[in-house]
Amino acid sequence: MRLISGPQGGRVVLDGTPVLLLCSNNYLGLADHPAVTEAAAEAALRWGVGAGASRLVSGTMTVHRRLEERLAAFKGTESAVLFGSGYLANVGVLQALASVGAGRTTIYSDALNHASIIDGCRLARAETVVYEHNDVEHLAWTMARRDPDPSAPKIVVTDSVFSMDGDVAPLVELLELCRRTGARLVVDEAHATGCTGPGGRGAVAEAGLEGEVDVVVGTLGKALGSYGAFAAASHEVVELLTNAARPLIFSTAPPPPAIAAALAALELLEAEPERVTALQAGADALRDELHREGFDVAGSTTQIVPLIVGDAALAMRICELAIEDGVFAQAIRPPTVPDGTSRLRLAVMASHTKDELREAARVLGRAALQAGFRPGSGGPVAAATPSSRGRVRAA
Residues marked as catalytic? 163, 191, 222
Distance CA 305, CA 299 (A): 8
Whether the Cβ atoms of residue 379 and residue 368 lie closer than 8 Å to each other: no
Residues in CB range of 200: below 8 A, 6 or more apart: 28, 193, 194, 223, 269, 273, 275, 276
For residue 362, give the nearest of 315, 327, 313, 311 by alpha carbon: 327
- The alpha carbon of 196 is separated from its chain's Cα centroid by a whole number of angstroms, namely 12
What is the number of residues in the chain? 395
Distance CA 299, CA 355 (A): 23
3-state helix, strand, coil in the chain (%, to 5): 45, 20, 40
Rounded alpha-carbon distances, angstroms, from residue 201 to 66, 190, 291, 372: 18, 11, 29, 41
Distance CA 237, CA 94 (A): 12
Max CA separation in the chain (angstroms): 68
The partner residues of 109 in beta bridges, in order of sequence, read 130, 157
Distance CA 195, CA 277 (A): 9
